[in-house]
Amino acid sequence: MGEGMGQQPSRRPPVSLSGLDISRNPHVQFLVTEHWSLLATRGMTWSEIFSRTGTYLTVLSAAVIALSFVANATGFGSDFRTFAMLILPVVLLIGVGTFFRLIEADVEDAWLVLGMNRLRHAYIELAPELEPYFVASHHDDKPGLMQTYAFRSRVGVTHWLSGSPLIVGVVDAVVTGVLAAVVCQALGAGAGARTVIGVTAAVAAAVVLGTIGYRKVHQVSRDYHPLFPR
């Protein structure tokens, strides 16, 4: 496993909990209530991530189907370009909003994981005998976050490639390129110019969205100071 898992005291033999009774401690009830609240909030956050992503892809699919019908009816003429220039900006607006909301949701999910790590630290302070039984981390620093979130010290490229923000960002970039190509066609540009401008617009959109998302996550990470580091 990664560094985070290697530092856990799980290799120690289990201790007997027969004499442990913390049910009378009122602080435990407060901590458990807060823990369940964070779990419920995290579940709502993940539901919103799936819902927003699904809604955007549904809107995109409906727009593509509508464009195909109009293209068959007009033969990719001026009416098709007018319709495309009306519907694609709406799809792009929804996509950009979805991308930024997914970035915010990922940040919120990280905060919730850190909050549960802090509560887990409190459990261990109240009952140190429980430490060998925790799989998730009880530290609220970056290694603790990664251990609880992914059960390893760091995530690979495949994790980022499969993330919802990246998928939505790539789709947004493609929509931007297509919209730019359609606008160029409406202005009378040739096939070569449309292709170059469309690809350039798509790459520029991907770079802009990726930079904004990275800066947002980096700013939150930079301003955070753990209370119970490893």
- Convert the pLDDT of each residue in 120-156 to its tens digit: 999 898 888 888 888 888 999 988 988 888 777 777 7
Answer whether residue 51 shows pLDDT above 80: yes
Sign of CA dihedral 139, 143, 146, 152: negative
The confidence score (pLDDT) of residue 82 equals 92
Q: Could you tell me the pLDDT band of residue 24, with boundaries at 50, 70 and 90? A: low
Domain count, the chain: 1
Query: Is 187 within a domain?
Result: yes
The confidence score (pLDDT) of residue 7 equals 46
Answer whether residue 42 shows pLDDT above 50: yes
Q: Which residues contact 59 (CB under 8 A, 6 or more apart)?
A: 91, 94
The confidence score (pLDDT) of residue 20 equals 52
Element (H, E) at 34: helix 26-74
Q: Name the nearest CA neighbour of 121 among 4, 5, 230.
A: 230
Domain that holds residue 208: 26-223
The confidence score (pLDDT) of residue 202 equals 96
Query: Is 15 within a domain?
Result: no
The confidence score (pLDDT) of residue 23 equals 58
Query: Is 11 within a domain?
Result: no
Answer whether residue 97 shows pLDDT above 50: yes
Cα 30 from chain centre? 30
Q: Name the nearest CA neighbour of 227 among 138, 167, 164.
A: 138
Query: Is 20 within a domain?
Result: no
Residue 37 structure tokens: 């609240």
The confidence score (pLDDT) of residue 21 equals 57
Residue 27 structure tokens: 């602080």
CA–CA separation, 213 and 160 (whole Å): 13
- Convert the pLDDT of each residue in 153-177 to its tens digit: 777 777 777 888 999 999 999 999 9
